[in-house]
Amino acid sequence: MSAIEHLLNGFAIALSWKNLGLCLLGCVWGTAVGVLPGLGPMAGMALLLPLTFSLDPTGGIIMLAGIFYGAMYGGSTTSILLRIPGEAASIVTCIDGYQMARNGRAGAALSIAALGSFVGGTLSIIGLMLFAPYLADVMLSVGPAAESVMMAVALIIVTAVSSGPAIKTFAMICLGLVAGTIGLDALTADSRFMFGRLVLADGLSFVALAIGLFGLSELLMSLNEGAVEKPRTPSLRDLVPSRIELREAAAPTLRGSAIGFVFGVIPGVSHIVSTFVSYAAEKKLSRTPERFGHGAVAGLAGPETANNATTGSSMIPLLVLGIPAIPSTAILLSALQNHGIQPGPLLLTENPEIFWGLIASMYIGNLILVGLNLPLVGVFVRLLQTPMAYLAPIVVLICFIGVYSVNGSMFDIGVLCAAGALGYWLRKFGYDVAPALLALVLGDRMEAGFRRALAISDGDYSIFWKGPAVKVFLALLLVVIVVKIVTVLRADKLRQALD
């Protein structure tokens, strides 16, 4: 069956009433959490993760993916109208997007961001569709040694590119790996750190940990936040950009798509890096760099497009390698694993309906976001008017219901509360808890690959640096570290512009 036939099948799956509804629900919920400061895609996905267990795997992943790119989209709305980045990747949008709004072009800025997001998202999905099958073929020939090296490299890259202190990120990765060792040993079935409790045989509940570390801790952090001053929301007529603005946005949109796509494929490199690189590239290429920081269309279109292109291409490492390139995709991985499906090179052959259904739903989701969110921008902005003290208790109750529903276990509720308190404390002291979750998801497979490789080589450690696949991963690590150094140097200049 050709890719086109697979894609048509995917559309048939994604366009069923149920999956269309789930995609819509994901997009709306994603936009809402993207709009609310603090509640980013991670928390938004974690909160609805338990709901996916009662759905079929394709429907579940379609909904979660909708939340993921919906949140990315929603984050730009508050950045443009209020200079409040709904999530970290929208920080760059604040620079010129907000200035455009101040210059009376809020509607045009929202439209350009929406169109850029749509183009970036769509082009990255085409890239995903074209490259993923070839990468999957290559990955099938990779052995356990290369697999464990690949995961270790992904975690090292996360440490290298983290925005906070590297030592704290590394500590969080180790904490996640340590937590992942609880339960029965996958190879020998020996009990490890179970303390006589059978409930721990499968390890700590990922759902409880994810919701606690992200959802609950975020809610605790935001309880004292009041309502935000109401911005002037643009009318429908204001949403149409001028011809000059569209012309200025065209080339940055295409460049942003390419930059976002490349950075999304590299494990560990987040949206923030791609948006900063895109902004720097646009400023460098511009004939009027002095307009950047004062409402330059290119300074908005490029990063916004890159942000959404990264979202699409970050699905490649997840679906083809089974590695969540960024923490948000770890939630997607967990959702699939809970249905007994392991993303990786075999996903395309064993579960093509999930892969192609997801791709088709992403096309549809991008259309939904443009068609639904521009007219409803006022509704989403009004969400900001609700103090968190009212919203938070309801969300907490939904968290409890969600966590309990997975195993019917009060132990998991205890884990949820403990993870919430831990997440709150760690965040207060500048620890990013996302890498811990990433390590928790990857730990099992990394350990199994490591032990199997050593068994195959009869204890010879050189197996971990022999072979072309391992060398490719190590080269990738080198490239990312170089890019990180360049980005840090550029970010200093951008920070001055933001100030």
Residues near other proteins (CB under 8 A): 51, 54, 165, 167-168, 170-171, 174-175, 177-178, 181, 185, 187-188, 190, 192-193, 216, 219-221, 223-224, 387, 389-390, 392-394, 396-398, 400-401, 404-405, 408, 410, 413-414, 416-417, 420-421, 424-426, 428-431, 443, 447, 450-451, 454-455, 457-459, 461
CB environment 111-135: b (16+ within 10 A), e (fewer): bbbbbbbbbbbbbbbebbbeebbeb
Rounded Cα distance, 143 and 467, in Å: 10
The minimum distance between CB 461 and other proteins, in angstroms, equals 8
Question: Which one, 108 or 416, has the nearer CB to other proteins?
Answer: 416
Q: H helices of 266-323, where?
A: 271-285, 297-313, 315-316
Tokens (6 digits) for 452: 């199997």
Question: Would you list the DSSP string of 243-265?
Answer: HHHHHHHHHHHHHHHHHHHHHHH
Distance spanning both ends of the chain, measured CA to CA: 54
The minimum distance between CB 186 and other proteins, in angstroms, equals 9
CA neighbor of 206 nearest in space, from 439, 445, 442, 437: 437
User: To the nearest 10°, the Cα dihedral for 19, 21, 26, 31?
Assistant: 140
Rounded Cα distance, 46 and 494, in Å: 32
Question: Which one, 135 or 210, has the nearer CB to other proteins?
Answer: 210
Question: Which one, 180 or 252, has the nearer CB to other proteins?
Answer: 180
Question: Which one, 16 or 409, has the nearer CB to other proteins?
Answer: 409
Question: Which one, 9 or 457, has the nearer CB to other proteins?
Answer: 457
The minimum distance between CB 187 and other proteins, in angstroms, equals 8
Residues recorded for the chain: 499
Tokens (6 digits) for 244: 């000059």
| Cα R_g (the chain), whole angstroms | 22
Rounded Cα distance, 328 and 312, in Å: 12
Rounded Cα distance, 422 and 412, in Å: 15
The minimum distance between CB 2 and other proteins, in angstroms, equals 39
Question: Which one, 145 or 281, has the nearer CB to other proteins?
Answer: 145
Question: Which one, 196 or 430, has the nearer CB to other proteins?
Answer: 430
* Angle between helices 352-373 and 57-82 in degrees, nearest 10: 30
Question: Which one, 428 or 466, has the nearer CB to other proteins?
Answer: 428
The minimum distance between CB 204 and other proteins, in angstroms, equals 14
Q: H helices of 140-286, where?
A: 144-161, 166-179, 206-210, 217-222, 243-265, 271-285
Question: Which one, 62 or 135, has the nearer CB to other proteins?
Answer: 62
The minimum distance between CB 369 and other proteins, in angstroms, equals 25
Question: Which one, 486 or 498, has the nearer CB to other proteins?
Answer: 498
Find out whether 423 and 212 touch, Cβ atoms under 8 Å: yes
Find out whether 41 and 83 touch, Cβ atoms under 8 Å: no
The minimum distance between CB 443 and other proteins, in angstroms, equals 8
Rounded Cα distance, 313 and 329, in Å: 11
Which residues make Cβ contacts (< 8 Å) with residue 480, sequence separation at least 6? 157, 160, 161, 266, 268, 269
The minimum distance between CB 148 and other proteins, in angstroms, equals 10
The minimum distance between CB 124 and other proteins, in angstroms, equals 33
The minimum distance between CB 226 and other proteins, in angstroms, equals 10
Question: Which one, 375 or 414, has the nearer CB to other proteins?
Answer: 414
The minimum distance between CB 106 and other proteins, in angstroms, equals 31
